[in-house]
Copies of this chain bind each other. A is one copy, B any other.
Amino acid sequence: MSTPNRFKVTVVGSGNWGTTTAKIVAENVAIHTNVFDPEVRMWVFEEVLDGEKLSEIINTRHENIKYLPGVKLPSNLIAVPDLVSAVEGSQLLVFNVPHQFLSRICKQLKGHISSKVRAISCLKGLEVDDQGVRLLSDYITGELGIHCGVLSGANLAPEVALEKYSETTIAYPLPENHYPGDATGETWQMLFHRPYFHVRVVNDIAGVSIAGALKNVVALAAGFVEGKGWGENAKAAIMRRGIIEMIKFCKIFFNKNEIETFTQESAGIADLITTCAAGRNVRVGSEMARSGRSVEEVEAELLNGQSAQGMVTAKEIHSLLENKGLLDEFPLLEITYQMAFNGYDIDNLPAFFEKIR
Contact = CB atoms under 8 A, between A and B. Distances in A.
Interface string A281-292: 000000000000
Interface stretch (A10-18, A192-200, A335-343): A192-200
Interface string A65-96: 00000000000000000000000000000000
For this chain, the copies found in one complex come to 2
Contacts of A167: 233, 237, 240
Nearest to A266: B240
Interface in A162-214: 164-167, 195-196, 198, 200
A239 B350 contact: no
Interface string A312-328: 00000000000000000
A244 interface: yes
Given A263-B243, A354-B198, A236 B271 contact: yes
Which of A166, A262, A354 counts the most chain B CB atoms within 10 A? A166
Interface stretch (A37-45, A104-112, A153-161, A301-309): A153-161
A56 to B, nearest CB: 32
Interface string A3-25: 00000000000000000000000
A353 interface: yes
A237 B350 contact: no
Interface string A110-152: 0000000000000000000000000000000000000000000
A60 to B, nearest CB: 30
A225 B273 CA distance: 15
B270 A239 contact: yes
Given A159-B232, A159-B233, A159-B234, 4 more contacts: A154-B240, A165-B225, A167-B237, A244-B264
Enumerate the 9 nearest inter-chain pairs by beta-carbon distance, A residue then B residue, closest first: A166-B233, A154-B236, A236-B270, A263-B263, A240-B270, A159-B231, A236-B273, A236-B274, A165-B234
11 contacts: A154-B233, A159-B231, A159-B233, A165-B225, A165-B349, A167-B237, A236-B266, A236-B277, A237-B270, A273-B273, A277-B277
